[in-house]
Amino acid sequence: MDLDRKKIAVLDLTHGGIPISIKLAELGAEVSAVDVYNTVDPVTLSELEDKYGIRTSREPLPVGAFDLLAAPVHLDPAYPMLAEARKTKKPVLSHHRIVGLVLAKDPRLAGTLTIEITGVKAKTSTASLLADMLSRKSQVVLHTSRGLEAWKRGVPSEIRKGLSITPGSILSAVDRTFEAGLSPDYFIFEISIGGTGNADLGILTTLTPDYGIANNSSLAGEAKLQLVLTAKPGTVLVLNATVEKALENTGEKIPETVKKINFRDPFYPESGESADFVLETEEGIIHCLCRGQELFTARLQPGYNSLAYRTAFVAASAAALELGVESRSVVEAIEEFGGLAGRMQEKELEGKALIDNSNSGMDIRSAEKALEYALLKKKDERKQKIFIVLGEEAAQVCEGLPPEAVQGFVEKYGKKFERIVLVGERMRDIKAGNVAYAASLPEGLSEASKLAGKADIIISSVKCFR
């Protein structure tokens, strides 16, 4: 689709709409940017108008004035402009698809292979492991919820912190990369709730646990399947083996114009009996098999919960091998891996054992896994009491941590903890006999550390940006 001279309304400036609006204006489109949630400061809105010629509005605009609308997949379909667009059959493209069209026109990407990774779980760990594997022989730029990094010979260096994983942030990540004077062989983008349709290789890690988006009018899993359904011809797709069944349930199929590789989900092994790639585990060792033939064995580092990374191990390995990375480099990356900060990593906090599981993708299931890990550690190392810091630092982080889910967790597992420190304003209504409250993750950790002894375990499970 030619975006030049089109009249386009970009909805939602809070979740990546600003870089999308700017890029469309630079491509020659006549852009109106709508601050759906009234969260953008007036100075930024004035700059969009004065510097880029973008009309801005805090109120819905009549859709008849536009050729098309661009909206995020999670925007409530009852929003007046979307409701009017459906009624008048005005085209609406997702932020993902608009970003894909913009990327396709960027000449700077001509010599770079682009990889997109989406899913419910294991996105950041898969992306980071794959960046490590590829960087043993190539230059890689990685954009995840941890930030924007340049990878070379297995070592990352920070380009910029603070970029989200909304599709619009991909445009910012590309600009920052080239502004830094880098010309990577590979771009790897962790992307929320779908794909842009511009990737050369796409990875869909998991579809469960699913959750509602767009005011619960649809499911995130359906949106994530767009990574598959919008893939351009020739794209390589590395997919959780559950994806094909999920597509069948929606009446869709994997396009015949792409190359499909699937892997068995380590957490749902029964769903991938005929998968291309399979991971088998024993204590401290993993075996990777492709169509029944063992490809490699890797010995894992201690100090983190390696079981939590099984999806990342198999998905990243499958993608790297497909891209021509030698098995030796894949094994080196896995054997040197020590877990990601905030993702089931063992640390110390003032001399006490800490299981660090606080990150932007943390959910109640992840908190349950952290408890399982702590109980094993308690048994194996003869630890005594378990404390947990649980909650959210911002309800806007990946749709927050539902207080009702935390209440259920507390009711089910509360007796296993000596003390539960809940973080976040929305958690103050949760009731239990052994609960304390804190405003932030550091405050919660400080409170738990004061209460815990040297032989105790502290779990940190707070949904937050890090």
The reply to whether 167 and 238 lie within a common domain is yes
pLDDT at 466: 64
Integer Cα distance of 462 and 131 in angstroms: 26
pLDDT in tens, 18-69: 999 999 999 999 999 999 999 999 999 999 999 999 999 999 999 999 999 9
Classify 219 as helix, strand or coil: strand
Q: What is the pTM of this model?
A: 0.84
Range of the domain at 388: 345-463
For the ranges 108-112, 148-152, 160-164, 245-249, the lowest mean pLDDT is seen at 160-164
Pick the more confident residue, 143 or 394: 143
Identify the domain boundary among 336, 353, 378.
336
Cα 274–chain centre separation: 27
The reply to whether 353 and 328 lie within a common domain is no
The reply to whether 383 and 308 lie within a common domain is no
Integer Cα distance of 208 and 193 in angstroms: 12
Radius of gyration of the chain from Cα atoms? Answer: 23
Cis peptide bond prior to 156, omega within 30° of 0: no
Contact of 55 with 21, CB cutoff 8 Å: no
Q: Per DSSP, what are the bridge partners of residue 298?
A: 286
pLDDT in tens, 361-377: 788 988 998 999 899 88
Q: Average pLDDT for residues 321-348, to the nearest whole number?
A: 91
Strand duo 293-299 + 285-290: pairing: antiparallel
Integer Cα distance of 208 and 242 in angstroms: 9
Tell me how crowded residue 88 is: count the other CB atoms within 10 A of its CB.
Answer: 10
What's the structural domain count of the chain? 3
CATH of the domain at 363: 3.90.190.20
Q: Per DSSP, what are the bridge partners of residue 203?
A: 117, 238
Report which DSSP code applies to 448.
H
Give yes or no for residue 336 having a pLDDT over 50: yes
Identify the domain boundary among 317, 336, 355.
336
Contact of 35 with 58, CB cutoff 8 Å: yes
Q: Please count the CA atoms within 13 angstroms of the CA of 277 that sit on its side-chain side.
A: 26
Residue 73: C-alpha distances to residues 3, 37, 77, 226, 268 (Å): 20, 15, 9, 10, 27
